[in-house]
Each structure stands twice: as C-alpha cells, then as structure tokens.
Chains A and B, each alone.
Chain A
Amino acid sequence: MAPIRDKFTIHSKAVVCQDVELKGDITIGSGTIVHPKATIFAVAGPIVIGAGCIIEESAIIVNRRKEVMRIGDDNLFEIGCRIEAPSIGSFNTFSTRSRVHHTVRIASFCVIGAGCVLAPADDETLSDYTVVYGPSAERRTWTGKGKVQEADLRRKHAEYLREMLPKFNRLRRGDGA
C-alpha cells in the first residue's frame, strides 16, 4: 500500500485547531470550523470539505475509497459521529454518535439522529430532507418547515465559534505536508 502523503489545503478563513488529526489529501473550505480532537483521515482517497461546516470533537471522517469524498457546505458533524459516506450535500446534521457507512450517499437537509447507525448492506442514496431517528433508525421525510431558521442558526453557530475558538485554542495554519 502506498504511503499516505499528507497534503492539506486549508482556506485562510477556516478555523482548524492544533489538536486535530489530519492524514492524507484534505481540502477544507472557507469558514469551516474543526474543533480540537476531531479526526479526518483521507486514507485511500482525498477528502474535500465545503464552506461553513462545523466538525465537533471526536468526530471521525474517514475516506477508505479511492474516489474523492465530497462534503458540501454548512454541515454539522456533532460529537462522536463517524462518517464514511462518499458524498454529502449541504445543511445536513449528523447528530452525536451517529454512524454512516460508506454505502450511503447523503443529499441535502438531512438529519441523522443521535446514536443512529446507517449501515445498509447495499448502496443507497438518502434523498433530500430525510430524517433518520430512533434506536432502530426509522426514517421519515421532513417537510422542510423551519429550514430558514435552522440555516440561520447554523450560520450564527459558525460565526460564534470562529470568534471564540481561536481565543482558547491554538490554530493550525494551512500548509503542505
């Protein structure tokens, strides 16, 4: 297996803390916030993260496939989640300790509830506005009501973090290997 070459392209407006474990070819967009103790492993293929995402502590984003793992804008990866989905849209919420396997592709405005495990045997695409909740990962579709307020809240969340995190954590400056 070829050795993993680290190549981080971090936007100047992104906030990535010092204590984050990064491995492989990773691109982080503008305004994205990566909390300390997060883990982003681009083991087999590169990971591209969009703008305005919030990746919280103990979140694990792993790409074990050769293809690029694209993550869209304004997603929220809460504490302890483990994501391997090959493509993720925008404005999704991955709640605490949720797990998404590499067989699932996620569109926009989805919500994966706390502790839910999304591990179907075959490849699957979650359509827009899908909500996964409950211990047995039941699904239903959201009407999209309140998405304006939620988007606004997400942006305010990111703004606040962008202001506060650098005051208390060391930042990693974007550079090569």
Chain B
Amino acid sequence: MAPSVLYHCPCLSTSSIPPPPHLPSSSYSFHPLYTLFFCEECDAVRCNRCVSVEVSGYYCPNCLFEVPSASVRAEKNRCARNCFMCPNCRNTLSVVPSDPPDSGDGRLSAPISTVGEPPFFLYCNHCRWDSSEVGITFEKPTGLAAQLQKLEDSSPDSLEYERLKEHFEPIIRASSLSSSSSAAPSTSHSHHHSNPITAAASAALARDIPGVAKYTPHARSGRHSGKDRSANKDEMPEYKSRLNISNASVYGSGGGDVDVEFMRRLEDVSEVASLEQRWNYSWSTSLETRDLKPLRIPLHSKRSKRCPACTHILIKPEQKAQSVRYKIKLVAANYLPAITVALPHQVEMLGHISAEAAKRSGKAPVEDDKDARDNLQAGKTYPFHMALTNPLYDPIQVRLSVQRVHVAATVTGEGGTIEKARRPPFAISIPTTPFSIAPFAEAWEYEDDEEMFGLDDDELEARLSGREKETKSKSKTVGVLEKRANVTVVGGEVALGKEARGEVKFNMLVAYTYRSDDPAPSEGHDVSPSKKAETKTFAFYTVVDLGNIIPKEKSRVDPYDV
C-alpha cells in the first residue's frame, strides 16, 4: 500500500475535528483530493456525500442525442431512436441487411444495392448475436423504435401496467388534492419540490418578514379538507388484474412452473440468462438466454451538484452530451494544496528492483523484497517527504500540525501474540513553522536555474542566497527540503516503537494563509495581518497513511497484512 494522504470533509457536522484515523469506521470521512469540491461562499470543503445532486440533462450514450426531460418520461428513460443494446453482451446493436441470395454456384456474390436487402435485423459486432434468433426483423432500416413499439406495447406486462395506472390514477388525484391543501403554511418542505431552485424560492417566500402579515392561503379550506381525507383514506376500489397471477409465467414473465420445467431440461449453464443480462429490463423476464430480447438503450443523465448549505452550484456540466467539460467547476483541487507523501527508502528500493527486473526479463519482484519495501519495520525511524502543491495564483503560507490522538491501548488475553486492537505507538515529527509555497504559474514563467542571463543583480543575489539556504536544509530530514515551481517538499520523521503494530496513520491539520488581493509575491517572512491586502486563512484536516508496520523478523508474515 503506497503511502497516501486523504482529506477530511466534515460533512456538515458541527465539530470540525476528524475522528481518530486508526478506527476502521472513520474512513468514511476521509477522501482523496480529486473527489472533493469547495464552496466559495461557505468556505468549506464538500464531498460527494454531502452535496445535493440534481439532474441537468439526459442523453443517450450511443447516439449522444440530448433528450428533453419531457420526452424522457414518455419514452420510459430509453432512447427513442435506433439505439439498441445486445442482450448477450450489452454492446450496441447495428442495423444490417441480410445477405444477398446465394447465386447457387458456390461463389460468394457481391451485394446488389448499397442499402442492402430486406429483411433487416439487429446485429452485434462484438458477440455476433443477431435479432433473427429471437425473431425480430424489420422491413426498413430506419424508424426501428416505432416498428418495435407495437410489439412492446402488446406484451402482457405492459398491458398490466397500463391497467394498474388507470386504476390508481383517480385515487391519487383525489388524495393529492386533499393533502396539498392541508399542508401547514410555515413549513414549505411538505411540498414535494423536485427542483431545489423552486424549493429555495418557496423557502424564501415563506420566510418571516417583519411588518408584512403572514400569507396563509389554506386557512379557509383547512377544515373542509380534513373531512375529505378521512373519508377516502381507507376506501379504495378493488383491483382486478388482467391475468391470473399463477398463469402469468406462461407468458414469459418468469417464475412459476415454467422455470421449473426449464431447470429440469437444463443442459448447459450458458442457457440461463445471467444477472447482468437481465437486470436492465423493465419487467422480470424469463430465465432462458435465448429468450432475451434486444433492449432500447437506457438513457444516462448529466448531473449537477450543489452545496447543501448555501445551494450554490459546485459542478455544472455543459449542455452538449459530447463535451466532458464543465461550465462551473469548483473542485477542491483548485483551492486546496495537493499533498503527496512518499517514503524515500521505498522509492530507492523501487528503483533498484525495477532495474533488476528489467535485467531479469520482466519477472515479478521477489515477495521478500516486496515485504521489506512496502512495510515499515518496527523499531526503526523513517524519514518521509511530503510535497505540497499550491494551486492558487498567489503564494501561500502553510502551517502543519499533528493532531494529538488518545492512545487507548486494549491488550487482549494472549500475551505474546499480536493484538489487533492495540494502537501502534509511533511518534511523528514534522516542521511546525510556517513555510511558503510559490504561486502557480505557467511552466515558462518559473525562474529556471540555467537562465541567469538578463537578470538584475538583486534577483541574482536573492537566488544565490536562496540556494545556499536550500543546501543547508538538505542535510536535516525534518523541515523544508526543497522548493521548486509551485511545489514545496517538507520532510518529517516517524519513529516506530519496538513493539509497534498496525498502520501508521495520523491526522494532520493544514492551515494555509493566502493574500487574496496582493499581487506581489512574498519572501517567506512572517505574515502580518496589518498589511493592506486582506489575508484569509483556511484550515483543513488530512490523514496521512504511511503504510503498515511489520515486526522485525522478516520470515514471519503478519496475519492481517493484506
């Protein structure tokens, strides 16, 4: 397991302190940086679990046609054009003409016309399934959906569904009329708003404005609706289905005696339709593979995400189905510094092993080496490097601090053997002084060391003195190790106790300060809030995972090492 850094999202909880990292249940609140969003209004990190998602458009993944939301319901979430899915391998089907008739003399003749000959059928290029196996052929190569529509509508499941809808519709209409009129005016959440925009709007309308009388449109009908509701709450006309349910399986809807007969005759497991082949269907279908019919391709949706607190849009994709870009893209990677952690001894060993493996004609590295390389040995002290990348166009000052965790060591009965619950005792030392990271800029704007020409004397002096400082700091392992472009590498050390076991994980608080209005770069001096530009500080928690600890003896394999 390579060392990693995950970011903590408080997910609207009141305390911003993350849970202790060694508990398996706390992994829910730590996410990799590329999955997180950042809300500028609330100045907070949002993760995929706390954002509210809404659909921004529907499209067919095959023909990339954007379907307006009105037609989505009409077409039952499937593509209305000629897009079909192979029931066997879920690939897209293409419409092909049949072979030209055999001329009889054994030679394969060329096709007569470019369009091809009827009957046309659907053909899968991947598994070579074609729809003539289930008996579906077409006379024309276009307008297939319409041709299939009649077939689909006459299936017994579909007719049953229509009947159910007709039966329940008047009841639903009556009950919804009575329920909506009795809703309390103070809580607008009882209105079922599918669109958060209208939800936000109605919340704004229902807000208390001092001086304006409260608008209560439902006070008059309140009494009258109560009577209505109690009347028809329990009464509903009985529903009579079209078919007797015990006979339904005969018509291909699965279940019942038909399946039992099929199982008795079963010879090869490939005759049974697999789950992946069956679950895309609207109704339950028969179990046999040869009964699978081509499906219209289900539509996909493009989603936009909003901040749950202030309902500002965080992610908004473009309207066109083909484009993968976003109109609004407030991702955390554009605001928070990206942190990667590496153990230098692992990087070295990896280099050695890959060089050896290349010589040994690509054999996999030996397992022993892997163990020693990937895991940390108890009792040793390891330096680790953290590289922080600044995504902003302004320089930032970063301060790191390790969160103190309560060590609740629970020792179980077996004395000498490994106890899973014991917390590995280790000590982390990281630089706690604030250090700066240069702003992000295009590659050619960075001052390269080779380019000494055309620079002023002052800049040259500053560069030289900067380099001297860097060479001095390289000799120690804890502290700022390197600054290049917009990346700063800091080194820390982890000292493992002799009896340490488990994973080395610690929470780290990263606080960074940036000047939002000042364009001049800072030189790493202490931040003075009395400057004219305003400085903002943002802090977030991360968990740094350095890997597992293995005991000193290499021969023994840790039981819970994955």
A133-B89, A134-B89, A140-B88 given; A145·B98 CB < 8 A: yes
> Please, what's the 1-or-0 string for A140-169, where 1 marks a CB less than 8 Å from any CB in chain B?
101101111101100000000000000000
Contact B129 A149 (CB under 8 A): no
Contact A140 B99 (CB under 8 A): no
**CA of A48 to CA of B100 in the docked complex: distance in angstroms?**
33
B residues less than 8 Å from A140 (CB atoms): 88, 127-129, 270
Contact B127 A146 (CB under 8 A): no
Q: Please, which residue of chain B has its CB at the minimum distance from the CB of A156?
A: B110
A113-B126, A148-B99 given; A143·B111 CB < 8 A: no
Interface: B537 (CB within 8 A)? no
How many residues of A are in contact with the other chain, CB < 8 A?
16
The interface residues of chain A, by DSSP majority, are classed as: mixed
Interface: A111 (CB within 8 A)? yes
Contact A143 B132 (CB under 8 A): yes
Set A111, A134, A149: member contacting B128, Cβ < 8 A? A111
Set A113, A138, A142, A146: member contacting B99, Cβ < 8 A? A146
**CA of A138 to CA of B130 in the docked complex: distance in angstroms?**
17
Q: Please, which residue of chain A has its CB at the minimum distance from the CB of B102?
A: A148
B residues less than 8 Å from A138 (CB atoms): 127, 270
Contact A133 B98 (CB under 8 A): no
Contact B130 A145 (CB under 8 A): yes
Task: List B83-133 residues whose CB lies under 8 Å from chain A.
Answer: 88-89, 96-100, 102, 108-111, 121, 123, 126-130, 132-133
Contact B270 A149 (CB under 8 A): no
B residues less than 8 Å from A71 (CB atoms): none
A140-B88, A143-B132 given; A148·B127 CB < 8 A: no
**CA of A147 to CA of B110 in the docked complex: distance in angstroms?**
12
A residues less than 8 Å from B88 (CB atoms): 140
CB distance from A75 to the nearest CB of B (A): 16
CB distance from A134 to the nearest CB of B (A): 6
Contact A133 B127 (CB under 8 A): yes
Interface: A38 (CB within 8 A)? no
Contact A143 B133 (CB under 8 A): yes
Task: List A76-115 residues whose CB lies under 8 Å from chain B.
Answer: 111, 113
CB distance from B292 to the nearest CB of A (A): 12
CB distance from B98 to the nearest CB of A (A): 7
Contact A133 B99 (CB under 8 A): no
Contact A151 B121 (CB under 8 A): no
CB distance from A107 to the nearest CB of B (A): 15
Q: Please, which residue of chain A has its CB at the minimum distance from the CB of B91?
A: A133
CB distance from B32 to the nearest CB of A (A): 27
CB distance from B15 to the nearest CB of A (A): 46
> Please, what's the 1-or-0 string for A110-126, where 1 marks a CB less than 8 Å from any CB in chain B?
01010000000000000
Q: Give the most central of B109, B110, B123, B128: most A CB within 10 Å.
A: B128
B residues less than 8 Å from A61 (CB atoms): none
**CA of A145 to CA of B130 in the docked complex: distance in angstroms?**
8
A residues less than 8 Å from B132 (CB atoms): 143, 145
A residues less than 8 Å from B270 (CB atoms): 138, 140
Q: Please, which residue of chain B has its CB at the minimum distance from the CB of A153?
A: B111
B residues less than 8 Å from A133 (CB atoms): 89, 126-128
Q: Please, which residue of chain B has its CB at the minimum distance from the CB of A155?
A: B108
Contact A149 B111 (CB under 8 A): yes
**CA of A147 to CA of B100 in the docked complex: distance in angstroms?**
10
Contact A148 B128 (CB under 8 A): no
Contact A152 B111 (CB under 8 A): yes
A residues less than 8 Å from B97 (CB atoms): 149
Contact A145 B121 (CB under 8 A): yes
Contact B111 A146 (CB under 8 A): no
**CA of A108 to CA of B96 in the docked complex: distance in angstroms?**
22
Contact A143 B130 (CB under 8 A): yes
Contact A151 B123 (CB under 8 A): no
Partner-A contacts on B (CB < 8 A): 88-89, 96-100, 102, 108-111, 121, 123, 126-130, 132-133, 270
Q: What are 13 A-B pairs at a CB distance below 8 A?
A: A113-B127, A134-B89, A138-B127, A138-B270, A140-B128, A140-B129, A145-B130, A145-B132, A146-B96, A147-B99, A148-B99, A149-B99, A152-B111
5 further contact pairs, Cβ within 8 A, besides A131-B127, A138-B270, A148-B102? A133-B89, A140-B127, A140-B128, A140-B270, A152-B108
